[in-house]
Amino acid sequence: MKVIRTISGLRQELNSLKQTRKDGGSVGLVPTMGFLHAGHASLMTRAREMSDTVVLSIFVNPIQFGPGEDYETYPRDEERDLALAERHGIDIVFIPTVQEMYPKQVKTKIVVSELTSLLCGASRPGHFDGVTTVVSKLINIIKPNRAFFGLKDAQQVAVLQQMVTDLNLDVEIIPCPIIREKDGLALSSRNVYLSQEERTQALILSRSLNDVREAMNCGKATTAAEARLMLNEIIHSAPLAVIEYAEVLSFPELSRVEDDTLLVDLQGQVIMALAVKFGKTRLIDNLLFTPKEVLSLV
CA distances from 52 to 5, 47, 63, 145, 171 (A): 21, 9, 31, 10, 15
Min dist CB 229 to ligand AMP, Å, is: 27
CA gap 18, 102 in Å, rounded: 27
- Judged by beta carbon, residue 17 or residue 169, the one nearer ligand AMP is 169
Nearest distance from residue 42's CB to ligand AMP, in Å? 6
Catalytic, 40? Answer yes
Considering the complex, what minimum distance in angstroms separates the CB of residue 153 from ligand AMP? 4
SS3 letters across 196-236 = HHHHHHCCHHHHHHHHHHHHHHCCCCCEHHHHHHHHHHHHH
CB of 184 to ligand AMP, least distance (A): 11
Strand pairing category for 269-278 and 281-289: antiparallel
Residue number with CB closer to ligand AMP (25 or 184): 184
The nearer residue to ligand AMP, 153 or 226, going by C-beta atoms, is 153
User: In terms of CB distance, is 29 or 246 closer to ligand AMP?
Assistant: 29
Exposure letters 188-204 (e unless 16+ CB within 10 A, then b): bbbbebbeeebbebbeb
Q: Which residue is nearest to ligand AMP (CB)?
A: 150
> Could you say which of 37, 40, 88, 236 is catalytic?
40
CB of 135 to ligand AMP, least distance (A): 10
Q: Name the site residues for ligand AMP (rule: CB under 6 A).
A: 32-33, 39-40, 42-43, 149-150, 152-153, 176, 178-179, 186-189
Catalytic residue annotation: 40
